[in-house]
């Protein structure tokens, strides 16, 4: 699949934003994060900016952005519609909780309940995003349970890495233990992603050139003449091939920059004393590069079954 920049930015930025909001709401609600006003403003500002920027970028790549409101209507059948509805609903509890934290200095009690609701709503939204991809049978690499698992775990881990940086920047007491928790979440993300890659490589798809043409009854099928001499929408959108050549290298970059590097930096942070802020900042930057690479691969490596009509023998 063609890795559109807007969708890569949307899924990674909103994912991290929802993850950060999830942890802020949850830790705040249980009184585990100090209700510092400036911290709350910066942290919720970052989370909501990431979420909003991602949603806007995904809206602007539409052919008719001015009609985007119509996408809220088909929530009963479409995961894309459900995601839109969930994203808008999620703004309410997270926004309320952020206002209560920043302006009313209240993070627990009744507002704590709102925080927990906001945290859950954030993950429901991420799940809806992942199901947009996981529900497409036409793209076998996405159509499995590891796709939603990876989206949720990566949202939680990238959000936790951001939280680790913010906690250590404010020198909160929770910063040291949180860096270790974030490191564990990053490792969990790596495990899920490795299983995803393994299942994508191992599981042969049910669709082949033989089933796509129905000519399997006469033998093995190959395309001998294409229907057109130029590229077309289908080949540009679904027949993306550049990544396959570098898939192995890019996977290594994703693994080291997105997971191994940040996990090591976070694990070292509690021992680094005053340098913890630098280490967690480095984890954020390395993680961002790695996760964008991972997301780019998620799209670029996924093969659409329509390519079976254009010379692929197995999708």
Partner 1 sequence: MTDKDPYTGADPKGVWFNRIHTFEAVDDATGQSRTVHFPKSCLHCDDAPCVTVCPTGASYKRGEDGIVLVNADTCIGCKLCSWACPYGAREYDDDQGVMKKCTLCIDRIYNENIPEENRAPACVSTCPAGARHFGDLNDPNSGVSAIVKARGGYALMPEQETKPVNRYLPPRPKQDSAAPSAPRMLKHEETDTNGAGLLARWVDKILSN
- Interface positions with partner 1 (CB under 8 A): 1, 62-65, 67-68, 70-74, 77-81, 84, 132, 135-139, 206-207, 209, 211-228, 230, 232-234, 237-238, 304-306, 309-310
- Which is closer to partner 1, CB of 44 or CB of 299? 299
Minimum gap (Å) between residue 221 Cβ and partner 1: 5
Assigned token pair, 126 = 């991420």
Q: Which residues of 150-172 are buried (b: 16+ CB within 10 A; e: fewer)?
A: bbbbbbbbbbbbbbbbbbbbbeb
- Which is closer to partner 1, CB of 14 or CB of 168? 14
Minimum gap (Å) between residue 22 Cβ and partner 1: 24
30-36: long-range contacts, CB 8 A cutoff, minimum separation 24: 30/108, 30/112, 31/107, 31/108, 31/112, 32/174, 33/107, 33/167, 33/172, 33/174, 34/172, 34/173, 34/174, 35/101, 35/105, 35/106, 35/107, 36/170, 36/172
Minimum gap (Å) between residue 204 Cβ and partner 1: 12
Minimum gap (Å) between residue 64 Cβ and partner 1: 5
End-to-end CA distance of the chain: give it in Å, rounded. 12
The 10 Å Cβ neighbour count of residue 19 is 28
- Which is closer to partner 1, CB of 76 or CB of 245? 76
- Which is closer to partner 1, CB of 201 or CB of 220? 220
- The number of residues making up the chain comes to 315
- Which is closer to partner 1, CB of 98 or CB of 212? 212
Minimum gap (Å) between residue 225 Cβ and partner 1: 4
The Cα–Cα gap between 30 and 43 comes to: 17
Helix (H) or strand (E) holding 8: helix 5-29
The Cα–Cα gap between 47 and 53 comes to: 10
Minimum gap (Å) between residue 93 Cβ and partner 1: 23
- Which is closer to partner 1, CB of 208 or CB of 280? 208
Minimum gap (Å) between residue 308 Cβ and partner 1: 8
- Which is closer to partner 1, CB of 101 or CB of 299? 299
């Amino acid at each position: 699949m063609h890795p559109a920049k807007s969708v890569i930015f949307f899924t990674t930025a909103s994912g991290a934003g929802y993850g950060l909001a999830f942890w802020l709401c949850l830790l705040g609600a249980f009184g585990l994060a100090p209700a510092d006003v400036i911290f709350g403003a910066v942290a919720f500002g970052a989370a909501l900016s990431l979420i909003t920027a991602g949603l806007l970028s995904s809206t602007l790549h539409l052919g008719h952005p001015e009609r985007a409101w119509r996408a809220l209507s088909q929530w009963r059948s479409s995961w894309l519609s459900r995601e839109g509805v969930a994203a808008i609903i999620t703004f309410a509890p997270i926004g309320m909780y952020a206002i209560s934290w920043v302006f009313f200095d209240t993070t627990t009690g009744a507002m704590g309940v709102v925080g927990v609701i906001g945290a859950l709503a954030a993950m429901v939204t991420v799940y809806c995003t992942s199901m947009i991809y996981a529900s497409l049978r036409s793209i076998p690499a996405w159509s499995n349970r590891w796709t939603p698992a990876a989206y949720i775990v990566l949202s939680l881990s990238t959000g936790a890495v951001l939280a680790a940086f913010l906690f250590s920047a404010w020198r909160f007491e929770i910063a040291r233990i949180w860096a270790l928790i974030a490191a564990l979440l990053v490792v969990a993300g790596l495990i899920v992603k490795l299983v995803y890659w393994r299942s994508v490589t191992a599981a042969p798809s049910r669709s082949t050139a033989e089933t796509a043409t129905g000519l399997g009854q006469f033998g093995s099928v190959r395309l001998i003449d294409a229907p057109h001499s130029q590229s077309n929408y289908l080949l540009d959108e679904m027949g993306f091939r550049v990544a396959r050549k570098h898939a192995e290298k890019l996977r290594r970059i994703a693994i080291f920059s997105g997971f191994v590097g940040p996990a090591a930096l976070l694990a070292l942070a509690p021992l680094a004393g005053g340098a913890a802020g630098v280490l967690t900042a480095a984890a954020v930057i390395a993680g961002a590069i790695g996760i964008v690479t991972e997301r780019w691969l998620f799209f670029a490596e996924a093969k659409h079954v329509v390519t079976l009509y254009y010379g692929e023998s197995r999708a």
